[in-house]
Structure 1
Amino acid sequence: MSAVHKLITDHLDIWTAADTEKKSGRGRASGNANSVYGIKKLRELILELAVRGKLVPQDPNDEPASELLKRIQDEKAKLAADGKIKKDKPLAANVESENPFDLAYGWEWVRFNDIVDPAYSISYGVLVPGSDEKEGIPFVRIADLDIKNPPFKPEKSISREIDAQYERTRLEGGEILMGVVGSIGKLGIAPESWKGANIARAICRIKVTDHVCKAYVALLLQSRFMQDNFIGDTKTLAQPTLNIGLIRLSLTPLAPIKEQHRIVAKVDELMALCDQLEAQHNNAADAHEQLVSHLLSTLTQSQDAEDFNANWQRIATHFDTLFTTESSIDALKQTLLQLAVMGKLVPQDPNDEPANELLKRIQVEKAKLVAEGRSKKGRASNLIIEEDTEFALPHGWQWARLEMLGMTCTGRTPSTQVPAFYDGVIPFIGPGQITPSCELLPAEKCISEVGKAETSMANIGDILMVCIGGSIGKSALVDKELGFNQQINCLSPILVESKYVHIAMMTNSFQSKLIQFSSGSATPIINKSKWEELLVPVAPLSEQRRIVLSVLKILSICDQLRSNIVTESQKKMKIAEILVRNTAR
């Protein structure tokens, strides 16, 4: 067993237990939707060992890279003498003190341009508007670059007239393509099917000399060592941009040609192993998530107390193995919120005043506010029919529309053309100050007392909800006086427990109805009148208070469990980083 295989198997729990994250699209196996952080670091380690000469053993019988370099230089000199290429300008000398690390036996430090085909200089692609010619020349963009699975044909095209102006970057097939604007370092190798295509300005074309192994050079360019060099040399304009002159000058570790081929074969073998480990991990994670989802759904679907207790006992018996990930804890929290508003979290008390009496008192209070001129009269609520409701409620509960639980309003933004509106200390917020976890962030703007008259104000105990855009449904309880903009609706509860109503508004059942009633595909929006029509299951007031206490206690435990999982995951991620750093030295 090789040292690297042993490193993988000895620390398998570290590589596969570290957190899962979305793929960035850069590096090996970028076609997968998710990557396991530890395996991502393992891939980095494999490439780093490869470019440092530590992945495969050296063979003293191999021709050293210095001889390979001489042949490349001799070829360039002959082509220049024959007038087929211009004579190279001398590149900066490689001073030994510049070398980032000691090389293995037979290796040489070179400038990257030393291994580029002399007939094809590294060059940017076509600077062209985003027009698409259906019968034009295939046009490769950064989105098309994929080191493992490039598309058979690029989606976009450019006109033949534009292509004729950029003959120097027309592809023959087999070139290495690299992102130099925005997604710097993203790589692809042009398949033969791209022959005749041209490339976008955000890409540079690299054709290496036939004296080196192209797959080895592609590994070099994917390594953390080379990528850090490129990213460190970028300058920021509208977005990071890499000058191809810096690519040409980059110090590059060159292995003997036979070792280059051995390195490529070993990297392919180890990357396949990483793919296998990642697939196994993701399959297990998917199965775990489905199991948790199924078991939790049995709680909300329980027919009676006996059925519920049996279902809960099944979960409780395996609690330590079921709730071991952040997503499983989040699913548990959401299930508990749903159970709370279904009347299944705390016992009912037949002596509690029923919810219908509470709703009557709320309507009386609302009428008083209207009579006193402190609120506008709202429109009559639509009759609630059984088809509108999501589930059966316990005795003493009742469905109510949001509008029936208090006063509602939509936010407004004071004119930014009037500085006096914004020279105060009263917080003024938008959707960005409401987090997905239902917290209020500090306001980025403040309004004055004069500005208050130009906006909508919320007070302690009010509930704010985002009602437009990608963050529609985010909500928060207000803990201080503040103003809010037109992308937020507000409910000022009367007589009911604000925290209980907020719990109901955070449930999946409420959020699903919110999306269902919203309009617009690209930008979902729910208008105030439809928002007011959304249903909330209302418990007797005493039970609302019992539910709030129980939910807060349980959510606190869940948050602690989640924090422990995050801490453990961070430890394993740190260990993975240390293993990579120390092994690559």
Structure 2
Amino acid sequence: MPPGWAWATIEEVARVQLGRQRSPQQHTGEHMRPYLRAANVTWQGISLDEVKEMNFDHPDFAKYRLESGDILLNEASGSPHEVGKPAIWNNEIDDCCFQNTLLRLRPQRVNGTYLHWYCYAQALTGRFGEAGRGVNIRHLGKRGLSQFPIPVPPTSEQERIVAAIKEHFFRLDAANNALAAAQARIEATRRAALAAAFAGRLVPQDPNDEPATTLLERIAVSRRTAPRRQEVRA
């Protein structure tokens, strides 16, 4: 542990909350609200492709309402490397809540982006999955996440770490985009080479070559004049 760093549990640096359980009686009501579930949390961030609604009365709305900067994590998965997959909520939808397939972290005594990247690393490496319970489906749970250890550097160093991660990921994205562009050019060159090959443009044309029409006529004559084979019946 570097000087000035300290170990803590996640519940010591953030408020941990499991989402609201779905039930048939909440499918309709006077206080329908949008809510997020595991399908809305991706490695690229929050996905709003399919946001559902559920009835949240005033006490539940106060408890499960999302605020900007909240971190949402997948509570469970059949893949150990998907357990705890995180994304930061930035108020993409007004008055949005969350379901119990997600856990929410509300940073209290740590840089929120630092906490997000730490959770990202633990999910990506499968450590959250190892800490979960279950056989086919691994559940991290509120208790498992609350007691999970986290190294806490000084505040200024947290900010430098976040900036360094952002820079590294920017370079990785640029390299990935360049690679994708190169692969696209390679595929285009392959198609062009094949098209040229079968259009007579890939190699120089020799005027002394026998024309294809003459070759085809000679083959046809050869077939017509060739003796037929006698079929042998068993």
TM-score, scaled to structure 2 = 0.74
Instruction: Tell me which residue corresponds to 2:120.
Output: 222
Is the 1:173–1:195 contact (alpha carbons within 8 Å) kept by the matching residues of 2?
no
Instruction: Tell me which residue corresponds to 1:125.
Output: 19
Instruction: Tell me which residue corresponds to 2:63.
Output: 168
Task: Report how far residue 195 of structure 1 moved.
Answer: 4.7
Is the 2:71–2:89 contact (alpha carbons within 8 Å) kept by the matching residues of 1?
yes
Q: What CA distance in whole angstroms lies between the structure 2 residues aligned with 1:132 and 1:227? A: 37
CA distance change for structure 1 residues 268 and 213 in 2, over 3 Å: closer, same or farther?
same
The DSSP-based 3-state class of the residue aligned with 2:100 is coil
Task: Report how far residue 287 of structure 1 moved.
Answer: 1.4
Task: Report how far residue 265 of structure 1 moved.
Answer: 1.1
CA distance change for structure 1 residues 231 and 283 in 2, over 3 Å: closer, same or farther?
same
Q: What CA distance in whole angstroms lies between the structure 1 residues aligned with 2:113 and 2:134? A: 30
Instruction: Tell me which residue corresponds to 2:97.
Output: 198
Identical-residue share of aligned pairs (%): 17
Task: Return the structure number with greater strand share.
Answer: 2
Instruction: Tell me which residue corresponds to 2:172.
Output: 274
Q: What CA distance in whole angstroms lies between the structure 1 residues aligned with 2:87 and 2:164? A: 20
- C-alpha deviations, 1:209-256, integer Å up to 9, x for none? 1x3211111111111588432111223355332222121112211111
Q: Is residue 112 of structure 1 aligned with residue 7 of structure 2?
A: no
Higher relative contact order (CA 8 A, sep 6+): 2
Q: Is residue 207 of structure 1 aligned with residue 101 of structure 2?
A: no
Q: What CA distance in whole angstroms lies between the structure 2 residues aligned with 1:292 and 1:132? A: 54
- How do 1:212-291 and structure 2 match up within 5 A? 212-224=110-122, 227-236=125-134, 239-291=137-189
Alignment length (residue pairs):
209
Q: Is residue 155 of structure 1 aligned with residue 54 of structure 2?
A: no
Instruction: Tell me which residue corresponds to 2:75.
Output: 180
CA distance change for structure 1 residues 170 and 287 in 2, over 3 Å: closer, same or farther?
same
Q: What letter corresponds to residue 172 of structure 1 in structure 2?
A: E
Q: What letter corresponds to residue 63 of structure 2 in structure 1?
A: R
Q: What CA distance in whole angstroms lies between the structure 2 residues aligned with 1:226 and 1:213? A: 20
Instruction: Tell me which residue corresponds to 1:14.
Output: none
- How do 1:331-370 and structure 2 match up within 5 A? 349-350=219-220, 351=222
Instruction: Tell me which residue corresponds to 1:20.
Output: none
Is the 1:107–1:256 contact (alpha carbons within 8 Å) kept by the matching residues of 2?
yes
Task: Report how far residue 126 of structure 1 moved.
Answer: 2.2
Aligned alpha-carbon RMSD (Å): 3.5
The DSSP-based 3-state class of the residue aligned with 2:107 is coil
Q: What CA distance in whole angstroms lies between the structure 1 residues aligned with 2:5 and 2:219? A: 81
- How do 1:476-555 and structure 2 match up within 5 A? none
- How do 1:388-467 and structure 2 match up within 5 A? none
Q: What letter corresponds to residue 126 of structure 2 in structure 1?
A: D
Q: What CA distance in whole angstroms lies between the structure 1 residues aligned with 2:27 and 2:192? A: 47
The one of 18, 26, 37 equivalent to 1:141 is 37
The DSSP-based 3-state class of the residue aligned with 1:207 is strand
The one of 182, 185, 194 equivalent to 1:296 is 194
The DSSP-based 3-state class of the residue aligned with 1:267 is helix
TM-score, scaled to structure 1 = 0.32
The DSSP-based 3-state class of the residue aligned with 2:46 is coil
The DSSP-based 3-state class of the residue aligned with 2:53 is strand
Task: Return the structure number with greater helix share.
Answer: 1
The DSSP-based 3-state class of the residue aligned with 1:184 is coil
Is the 2:75–2:101 contact (alpha carbons within 8 Å) kept by the matching residues of 1?
yes
Is the 1:173–1:190 contact (alpha carbons within 8 Å) kept by the matching residues of 2?
yes
- C-alpha deviations, 1:471-520, integer Å up to 9, x for none? xxxxxxxxxxxxxxxxxxxxxxxxxxxxxxxxxxxxxxxxxxxxxxxxxx
CA distance change for structure 1 residues 156 and 352 in 2, over 3 Å: closer, same or farther?
farther
Instruction: Tell me which residue corresponds to 1:67.
Output: none
The DSSP-based 3-state class of the residue aligned with 2:95 is coil
Q: What letter corresponds to residue 116 of structure 2 in structure 1?
A: A
Q: What CA distance in whole angstroms lies between the structure 1 residues aligned with 2:61 and 2:125? A: 27
CA distance change for structure 1 residues 273 and 190 in 2, over 3 Å: closer, same or farther?
same
CA distance change for structure 1 residues 112 and 285 in 2, over 3 Å: closer, same or farther?
same
The DSSP-based 3-state class of the residue aligned with 1:114 is helix
Instruction: Tell me which residue corresponds to 1:189.
Output: 88
Q: What letter corresponds to residue 22 of structure 2 in structure 1?
A: V
The DSSP-based 3-state class of the residue aligned with 1:223 is helix
